[in-house]
Amino acid sequence: MLRVAIDGPGGTGKSTIAKAVASRLGLEYIDTGAMYRSIALKSIRLTVDPEDENAVVDMLSDTVIDFDDNKVFLDGEDVSGLIRTNEISMQASTISKLGPVRAKVDEVSKRLAATKNVVMEGRDIGTAVIPEAEVKIFMTADPAVRAKRRYDQLIEQGKSANLEEIKEEIEKRDYQDSHREINPLKQAEDAVFLDTSEMSIEENIDAVCDIIAAKTGAEA
Ligand code: DC
């Protein structure tokens, strides 16, 4: 069994890196943040307050989340293209504080990790979802670097962006994700710390593959 757990704050490029590493090593890529994001999307669509636990539990009672073939499904609908907005990032961070939301995503994540060799990324994979993972990496980058990467990405997509506002949102989300009560973002004791502030995407992919190779003795 090979399970690679990658945790870290938002905007570190975990999705890009985890996806590339999974494809290079022939592993299944699982993006747990995408599942929190799709629950956030549903709450926005239904105008459910993400802080109102009873209302959220009610909504979850007829919600089906799945992740397959690099896509996230909300009640059978592929919502992968709809969940990458700033509004959904913040709503996902807020709604993910609730225990029943975490239980819902954990159930899917744990089921996938039990049956497949995976690269799974999120905030609590090495600490709570797969504490027995063979490889754990805590990936981070300076907030200013993460803000600039996000800014460049938005400009490249022809969207308007404000660097200062993006940095503030990143810091707010970091705070919220690392200070919640249940399974907050934190480095697992046995995780390898990787600061990617000065790395290109290629260097980052190589660094992760090197860590996996060193931990497993596998050729990566
Ligand atoms: O990784 P991401 O930016 O797509 O995650 C969106 C939000 O979902 C993040 O701000 C907090 C939450 N999340 C979480 O609480 N636990 C995870 N394992 C993954 C994401």
The CA distance from 79 to 62, in Å, is: 17
What's the pLDDT score for residue 217? 85
Ligand 1: which residue has its CA nearest to atom 18? 122
Give the Å distance between the CA of 207 and the centre of ligand 1. Answer: 23
- For 129-170, the pLDDT digits (tens) are 999 999 999 999 999 999 999 999 899 999 999 999 999 999
Give the Å distance between the CA of 190 and the centre of ligand 1. Answer: 21
What's the pLDDT score for residue 58? 98
Closest atom, ligand 1, to C-alpha of 96:
15
Domains of the chain: 3-214 (3.40.50.300)
- Which residues does a 6 A CB cutoff place in the pocket of ligand 1? 10, 32-33, 36-37, 89, 92-93, 96, 122-125, 173, 177
User: What pTM does this model have?
Assistant: 0.96
Closest atom, ligand 1, to C-alpha of 177:
11
Ligand 1: which residue has its CA nearest to atom 9? 93
Closest atom, ligand 1, to C-alpha of 121:
18
What's the pLDDT score for residue 218? 61
Give the Å distance between the CA of 34 and the centre of ligand 1. Answer: 7
Could you report how far apart the first and last alpha carbons of the chain are, in Å?
Answer: 16
Question: Which ranges of the chain have pLDDT less than 50?
Answer: 220
What's the pLDDT score for residue 144? 96
